[in-house]
Structure 1
Amino acid sequence: MTTTPLPLGDPDVDATIGAELAAIEERLIEMAQYNEPLIEQASEHLIAAGGKRMRPALVLLTSLLGKGVDDRVRQAALATELTHLATLYHDDVMDSAPLRRGAPSAHEVWGNTMAILTGDLLFARASRLVSELGPVAVRIQADAFERLVLGQMHETLGPREGQDPIEHYLGVLADKTGSLIAAAARYGTYFSGADEQVQDAAVAYGEKVGVAFQLADDVIDLSADTATTGKTPGTDLREGVATMPVLLLQARGEGLDAEGRTILTALEGDLSDDDALDEVVQRLRAHEVTEEVRVLARRWAADAVADLEPVADSTARRALETFATLLVDRLA
């Protein structure tokens, strides 16, 4: 029996979501097919590398708060994952990330231009699917897409003068990750006919789950190896992106301990050498700020669950509570 990659505490829910995700996996491969072999190879590259399929899982799962999964829910789930995959092609170019899901990033194989265009192609495919679902779906997609782009722009530009860097970073996470996860929750509840209060609760939940997920990733990037994450540890640090552990160090100012100052000095140096990068990753992993980020991720997950308070108790709601917990329990 196919089950969801994230066991949600109810065998029937696990079986339903697992079977639906297996069907979506097949549809993803179909959506990457083109007449030109090179384009098809590039389009299939990240699909073949696998993934958590968290976003389509959430579309499917939130539909259980209404009338359940139907063809519109399935199509929205497929479009959501295609949109996410498209962003990964672009993100890896911007981050100069050598690996994605354990495989060489598309830009490492085919170059930046081909990687960007492949992402655009998947966006186009996702947009076509969404257009077939009607104007409400188009608006959900457009709003999420705008926030995805703005989140990347704000990350690139950095905080405005006088803006708290930590608040700025949380806003970037909400836009770059929370927006599409919130859209997934909107799709699932809207197309399953859930009432508006339930829709709004699920969307608020999705937004915060997205932030919790990315905060957890900030820790995992320091504490896991390439074989576990499929990515090179410390990629963001190498590219000069200040993730939450670094921001917490910087926020301590004159109260920063000697080890913290050593880490910040190292981050200002040349991290192109793998040994230098590994040393600073290990130092940051051992510093207490990394544990603070663990706590913060769990707090965001708990706040996400609290947003489900207007939703009546059900196996679906309890599965959503488990879903949020599992995303940050990867930190254990």
Structure 2
Amino acid sequence: MRVDISISLPPGFDALQKHEKLFDALLTSLAKIEEDLADALVYADDLAQATTRHLLDAGGKRVRPIVTVLSSMLADENVGTGEVEEPSVYIRKVAVAMELTHLATLYHDDVMDEADQRRGVTATHQQWSNSIAILAGDLIFAKASGELAELGTRAVKEHSVTFEKLVMGQLWETIGPEEQDDPLEHYLRVIDGKTASLLASSALLGALLAGGSEELIQIASAYGSNVGMAFQLADDIIDVTSSSDTSGKVQGTDLKERVPTLPILLLRQAANEADAQATSILELVDGPLETDEQVDAAVKAVASHPVIDQAWELTGQWADKAVRALDGLEDSPVKTALTQFAQYVVSREH
């Protein structure tokens, strides 16, 4: 009998609904993870409580917990039929740790990017201060580390390596490419560090803690890395092609913050190849973006250029890599769902 749990899955996981036991196990796990996330961020100090819960309570897609749980199910001996067991408490701890790590990076990113909004609410540093937001992120990082402490040396080491990649990705984004660097390659390296590494780790640890083989662990990691690249590239395109209601961010945030995302890098390539339209659009992008009207004009101009289609094509290549990473697995409802999710990532607003 299907349990009644108010958990929304992102599109792309529709195939799982045909497998009642698997679907219920996933929803039950996600509901418990949501409770565990809330329990993890409880403080006697009112300011610590309010600030750390600010973005958690605002929602989020919970992609990392979903990938963690599904990757763990790949190790279930009954995955082929979908008659899988509910993942253990250790899988939930990994999922909580990964989501808390992601959450903490949002606090720090918003300070560095001077963002106004996150997940449809006022950014933490805007509601309190830069220092408070940074410290709230640090508190959340500490909680994430605590969740992993009892899961074994490899889990702790993997989280440590991932944390380093996250910071390096942010560092590379902050300093920008060196003179000899290709801007697009630099951009992809930033995304690999800031986004793909955490999804790769989520998938890897899910398979690891479920007792998966080393081959399965590496397959899961490769899937997570590639789908993470596709997910972030798609988000960056959506920044100029969708409304704030869809993305949870103010449209044109990346433009306003002068973040050199994929559409802008492709525009610069086009301008260097004597594309007059691209050159005209870059005059808006590189000009004043202090008013809503200026940002709106730049957003509409970028969205109207063929580089958007080029950007989606490149993003689709990463989604295809994610799907191919699963080739070594037997057919199963979980494999199908992961495949469909990768395909959904590059079909959003497209």
Length-normalised TM-score, structure 1 = 0.97
Q: Is 2:312 the partner of 1:323?
A: no
CA-based RMSD of the aligned residues comes to 1.3
Say which is worse superposed, 143-152 or 11-20, in terms of deviation.
11-20
Structure 1: distance between partners of 2:64 and 2:75: 18
Q: Is 2:25 the partner of 1:16?
A: yes
Structure 2: distance between partners of 1:149 and 1:23: 29
Query: How do 1:70-85 and structure 2 match up within 5 A?
Result: 70-85=88-103
Structure 2: distance between partners of 1:134 and 1:70: 15
Q: Is the 8 A contact 2:284 2:297 kept in 1?
A: no
Query: How do 1:287-302 and structure 2 match up within 5 A?
Result: 287-302=305-320
User: Which ranges of structure 1 fall in alignment gaps of 5 or more residues?
Assistant: none
Q: Is 2:151 the partner of 1:133?
A: yes
Length-normalised TM-score, structure 2 = 0.92
Q: How much does 1:8 deviate? A: 3.7
Counterpart for residue 64 of structure 2: 55
Would the alpha carbon gap of residues 41 and 254 (structure 1) be closer, same or farther in structure 2, given more than 3 Å must change? closer
Q: How much does 1:331 deviate? A: 2.9
Tell me the percent identity: 42
Query: How do 1:1-332 and structure 2 match up within 5 A?
Result: 1-2=4-5, 4-6=8-10, 7-11=13-17, 12=20, 13-67=22-76, 69-332=87-350
Q: How much does 1:4 deviate? A: 4.7
Structure 1: distance between partners of 2:313 and 2:283: 26
Structure 2: distance between partners of 1:254 and 1:161: 16
Q: Is the 8 A contact 1:61 1:316 kept in 2?
A: yes
Structure 2: distance between partners of 1:208 and 1:64: 19
Q: How much does 1:253 deviate? A: 4.3
Letter in 1 for 2:288: D
CA-to-aligned-CA distance 1:28-79 (integer Å, 9 cap, x gap): 1111111111210111111110010000110000001113611111110011
Aligned residue for 2:344, secondary structure, equals helix
Structure 1: distance between partners of 2:68 and 2:135: 27
CA-to-aligned-CA distance 1:78-106 (integer Å, 9 cap, x gap): 11101100000001111111011110010
Structure 1: distance between partners of 2:270 and 2:247: 30
Q: How much does 1:210 deviate? A: 0.6
Q: How much does 1:16 deviate? A: 2.2
Structure 1: distance between partners of 2:316 and 2:23: 23
CA-to-aligned-CA distance 1:254-279 (integer Å, 9 cap, x gap): 42422211111122211111110110
Aligned residue for 2:15, secondary structure, equals coil
Q: How much does 1:119 deviate? A: 0.3
User: Which ranges of structure 2 fall in alignment gaps of 5 or more residues?
Assistant: 77-84
Which stretches of structure 1, 4 residues or more, deviate above 3 A after TM superposition?
none
